[in-house]
DNA sequence: CATAGTGTACTAGACACATATTACACTATG
DNA sequence: CATAGTGTAATATGTGTCTAGTACACTATG
């Protein structure tokens, strides 16, 4: 695999985003086991410590449960996933609107651009 | 002033964004003089070197012209400003769409959220 | 020409991020 | 009980960002 990471954001943060995306898109289901830290490190071409930080963040977000000696698993709390979906959607929308305002664009002209981009 | 900066992005980058915004919103006009690096450093509560980097970035983007001993001025090339406006608009839209796709949202449901947020 | 105000350059240090390496604690398996 | 595979922890190193301080080069002004 060996993913390509953006330079303008910490790698661990980008990996958290990626996994959140996989959860929301249904690529990862409730109770699914994530790769071990060592496996995922090799897959993504990243250091084990960085993966460890990713898993720690996910657990702090209540998105995973870690069982020492067994692995890290997606939470079985479906409500949390629904909540995550809403939170991410609102965050995305809010950031978009904030950026628009910061640069002085009108909402209307942005909608036009969004519509153009297939 | 002493602005508040987000921790997830370099300060110099946030200042570049801010000035770009001021240009696009007409708060800064063609030929306007920016504060001196020292002045702006005090205004924003940031180090002189950081401001220097901001001005260097702006010049590299052809948004300013620097006259040693006189100051830094917004470019008088109006076409460049129009171009900047288009570029920023497209970048914003593209990033938004990319994020939406990464998290598995549909364009329709995002438009609904955008509409809700006054 | 002296001075004050510009931008510019350099060195040093603090901090976060990521890496590399090693070691430890727990669990399942045979 | 031995082993392999989990997560976890600690230390050291390199890089980028930001700060702090100092010094230099250029320009306008009186």
Task: Provide, in whole angstroms, the distance separating residue B49's CA from nucleotide C11's C1'.
Answer: 13
Q: How many CB pairs under 8 A join A and B?
A: 76
* pLDDT of B2 above 60: no
What φ, ψ does residue A66 adopt, rounded to 5°?
-105, 130
Of A97, A103, A117, the CB nearest to B117: A97
Measure B41 CA to D8 C1' (Å).
Answer: 43
pLDDT > 70? residue B1: no
pLDDT at B4: 76
Strands B64-67 and B71-74: antiparallel
How confident is the model over B46-90, as pLDDT tens digits? 999 999 999 999 999 999 999 989 999 999 999 999 999 999 999
Indicate the burial class of B52 (C-beta count within 10 angstroms; 0-12, 13-18, 19 or more).
middle
Which structure tokens are listed for B105?
Answer: 């949202």
B64 forms bridges with which residues in the sheet? B74
| A78 vs B1, higher pLDDT | A78
Residue among B90, B103, B110 minimizing CB distance to A24: B103
Partner-chain contact B93 A102, CB within 8 Å: no
Fold of B1-76: Arc Repressor Mutant, subunit A (1.10.10)
- Residue holding tokens 């977000």? A61
B27 to chain A: closest CA residue: A104
Residues of A 10-69 whose CB lies less than 7 Å from any atom of strand D: 34, 36-39, 48-49, 52, 55-56, 59, 66-69
CA B49 – C1' C9 distance (Å)?
A: 10
List, for chain A, all residue ranges whose pLDDT scores fall below the cut of 50: none
- The domains of chain A are located at 1-76, 78-118
Strand bridging mode B71-74 / A64-67: unpaired
């Amino acid at each position: 695999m060996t993913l390509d990471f953006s330079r303008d954001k910490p790698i661990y943060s980008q990996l958290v985003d990626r996994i959140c995306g996989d959860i929301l898109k249904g690529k990862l289901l409730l109770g699914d086991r994530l790769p071990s830290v060592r496996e995922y490190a090799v897959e993504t071409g990243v250091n084990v410590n960085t993966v460890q930080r990713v898993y720690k963040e996910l657990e702090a977000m209540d998105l995973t449960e870690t069982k020492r000696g067994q692995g890290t698993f997606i939470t079985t709390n479906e409500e949390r996933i629904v909540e995550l979906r809403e939170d991410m959607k609102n965050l995305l929308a809010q950031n978009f609107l904030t950026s628009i305002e910061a640069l002085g664009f009108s909402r209307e002209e942005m909608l036009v651009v969004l519509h153009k981009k297939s």
